[in-house]
Structure 1
């Protein structure tokens, strides 16, 4: 038996992967990431499974539950929100399991930045607008390396998906402006992407802080910044009739 780190998806219980769902249904022990995981997913746990909410647990306590379960020949699912590779704090858990010679696998999930794009009905990588997506956050209890400050990242004028920072949105705006984004740059805030209570706010760097304050949004929301949210764009070359490739000949000579 072993440990599986499973991405639960952004909130909609149907956005967990088929593999993640199967593992969740067969797990003897489930350790889930508190309120960040839709509790509806736990309805799929098999009868008699042992379920732990990690919100009140330390790293040592989480690992101890895993270690005990493996010693008893049980399967463990560590259920993380979104995709566990993004702000999931799983590396320290995997390293602890390596030290104990406990095998594990990681099952990817749908991140909230992808669910946010779906909610906004926008493509992050529009031709001639942006071909780069930056996933980042403002420093808080967790520091951010000097070269990854928002002012520096903003110089690229790429699409930016800013996690864990909506409670400091005024600071986010100030730093993005300092880095070179125009005040009229489009911004969207998506709170609880794909959940039934999902909320979307739109504006510009000039207006979004006031909107967030008026709505009282201070957590579980993603900030998306960039011209992909509103700009005109060139059509993709992939489907252009004069663009030939190994599966289709050009019709324009």
Structure 2
């Protein structure tokens, strides 16, 4: 059996009781180093598979094979169903190939953490993730459409690169928008950082942003002539 566990946004105390109990019970645990390191005390004596961009395919295959005759877990930052569609697609396809049953155990998403931190209700928001590999063209078009049609807070996971928030700021400026955006890095970690700045200021920042970053765009009006 393979368990796909949402480990929460950063604070180890935000993993669910069920997720922690399953983590304690399995023989093999895989995940990115930044996630595994938060739960080191529960990993003693277990087989550990550290994932990286370089070894991801091999590591996921090794994990699924280990679940053929035993219990294993994949620890995922936040919630598996919020921003990990590419990774989930890979792991579930492998499970089907090797005949492994799997269960998704939800976690607290960084999106939930940020909504609570800023006092924003999910009902007044729209979420879009650009935290993907490959072309961003389709998702940037979706962001453009959302800005055109809706007047809601837009919760954006920027591309997982140091310049990710600047790309979003540039998109806003290209559409005739220059709102004050909120950038939250490493939400719920001890070194959590919150920045408020106009998009025109963000685009000129020299900061290298963490890949654990969320941007919040307030309801704003864009130049309709920019939508083509």
* TM-score past 0.5 threshold: yes
Match of 1:79 among 72, 75, 79: 75
Structure 1, 163-172 or 85-94: larger mean CA deviation: 163-172
CA positional deviation for 1:125 = 4.7
Change (3 A) 1:124 1:174: farther
Distance 2:79 2:28 in 1: 20
Distance 1:125 1:117, change over 3 A: closer
- 1:43–1:202 Cα change, 3 Å: same
Q: Secondary structure at the match of 2:81?
A: coil
1 or 2, which has the higher helix percentage? 2
Unaligned runs of at least 5 residues, structure 1: 229-253
Contact 1:124–1:159, Cα closer than 8 Å, also in 2: no
Q: Is the 8 A contact 1:202 1:208 kept in 2?
A: no
For 1:115-130, list aligned pairs within 5 A. 115-119=113-117, 121-125=118-122
Provide TM-score, normalisation by structure 1: 0.74
Report what 2:92 is aligned to: 94
- What secondary structure is seen at the aligned counterpart in 2 of 1:95? helix
Instruction: Note the C-alpha offset of 1:85.
Output: 1.6
> Greater Rg, structure 1 or structure 2?
1
SS of 1:9's equivalent in the other structure is coil
> Is the aligned partner of 1:190 residue 2:184?
yes
Aligned to 2:214: 222
Q: Measured at CA, do residues 30 and 161 of structure 1 come closer, stay the same or move farther in structure 2, by a change above 3 Å? A: same
Q: Decide which of 127, 132, 149 is 1:134's aligned counterpart.
A: 127
Q: Output the aligned Cα RMSD.
A: 2.5
TM-score scaled by length of structure 2: 0.82
Cα offsets for 1:71-124 (capped at 9, x unmatched):
4x32101001111123321112101111221100001111112222233x3214
Does 2:45 align with 1:48? Answer: yes
Structure 2 unpaired stretches of 5+:
221-228
User: Which SS does the other structure have where 1:11 is aligned?
Assistant: coil
What are the superposed Cα offsets for residues 156-178 of structure 1, whole Å, 9 maximum, x if unpaired?
A: 23221221336143331232234
| Number of equivalent positions | 214
State the distance in 2 between where 1:146 and 1:222 align.
16
After the TM superposition, which of the residue ranges 73-82 and 167-176 deviates more from structure 2? 167-176
Segment drifting more, 25-34 vs 51-60: 51-60
Distance 1:80 1:42, change over 3 A: same
